[in-house]
C-alpha cells in the first residue's frame, strides 16, 4: 500500500516567506489535478527558491479550499501572503482563466527553523510531497 503524504514543500520567494512569518497566514497556489493528497493537519514547508535554496520553516495546514482569485481576495484579503497585484500577475503569467481555482491553505503554528537545510532532490514549482517517514528523516538530517 502506498504511504500517505503528510507534508509538501513549495518553493517561495524570500519576501513571501517573510510575510508568512510575519502573520500572513493564507497561502495559495495553482495545482495540477486538485489537492496533492493533503489533509488538514499536514505540513507546508517553505523552500526559499532564490538565495539560500533551503527549507527555512514550516506551518500546519488548518483548512484547504479551492477558490478563484476573486474569491481568495474577497475572503482573505489582508491575510494572504501575496498582494492582490502579485496574485493577478501570477494568474496572468501562467495564462490562467479568471475562473481557474487555486488551492488555498490557511496556516497555523508557523515556525522558522533555527538551521535551514537543503533537500536531497531539487524542489520544482510543482512542489515535493513527503511521507511521514520522509518528513521525519528530512527534519532529523537538517
Q: How many C-alpha atoms does 61 have within 13 Å on its Cβ side?
A: 23
Does residue 32 carry a pLDDT above 90? Answer: no
Mean pLDDT on 129-139 = 90
Mark 38-68 as b/e (b = at least 16 C-beta within 10 Å): beeebbbbbbbbeeeebbbbbbbbeeebebb
Sort strands 102-117 and 128-131 into parallel, antiparallel or unpaired.
Answer: unpaired
pLDDT tier for residue 53 given thresholds of 50, 70 and 90: confident
The whole-model pTM stands at 0.92
pLDDT tier for residue 25 given thresholds of 50, 70 and 90: very high
Would you tell me how many other CB atoms lie within 10 Å of the CB of residue 18? Answer: 16
List, edge to edge, every strand of the sheet that includes 102-117. 26-29, 102-117, 55-67, 43-48, 5-12, 128-131
Q: What is the pLDDT of residues 104-131, one digit of tens each?
A: 999 999 999 999 998 888 888 889 999 9
CATH 3.10.20.340 given to domain 5-118: no
Sign of CA dihedral 121, 126, 127, 131: negative
Query: What's the pLDDT score for residue 131?
Result: 92
Query: What's the pLDDT score for residue 110?
Result: 98
Amino acid at each position: 500500500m502506498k504511504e500517505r503524504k503528510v507534508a509538501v514543500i513549495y518553493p517561495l520567494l524570500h519576501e513571501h516567506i517573510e510575510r508568512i512569518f510575519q502573520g500572513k497566514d493564507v497561502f495559495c497556489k495553482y495545482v495540477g489535478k486538485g489537492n496533492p493528497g493533503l489533509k488538514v493537519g499536514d505540513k507546508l514547508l517553505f523552500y526559499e527558491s532564490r538565495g539560500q535554496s533551503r527549507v527555512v520553516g514550516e506551518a500546519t495546514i488548518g483548512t484547504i479550499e479551492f477558490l478563484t482569485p476573486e474569491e481568495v481576495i474577497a475572503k482573505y484579503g489582508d491575510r494572504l501572503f501575496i498582494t492582490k497585484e502579485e496574485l493577478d500577475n501570477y494568474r496572468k503569467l501562467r495564462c490562467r482563466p479568471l475562473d481557474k481555482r487555486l488551492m488555498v491553505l490557511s496556516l497555523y503554528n508557523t515556525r522558522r527553523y533555527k538551521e535551514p537545510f537543503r533537500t536531497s532532490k531539487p524542489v520544482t514549482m510543482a512542489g515535493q510531497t513527503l511521507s511521514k517517514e520522509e518528513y521525519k528523516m528530512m527534519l532529523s538530517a537538517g
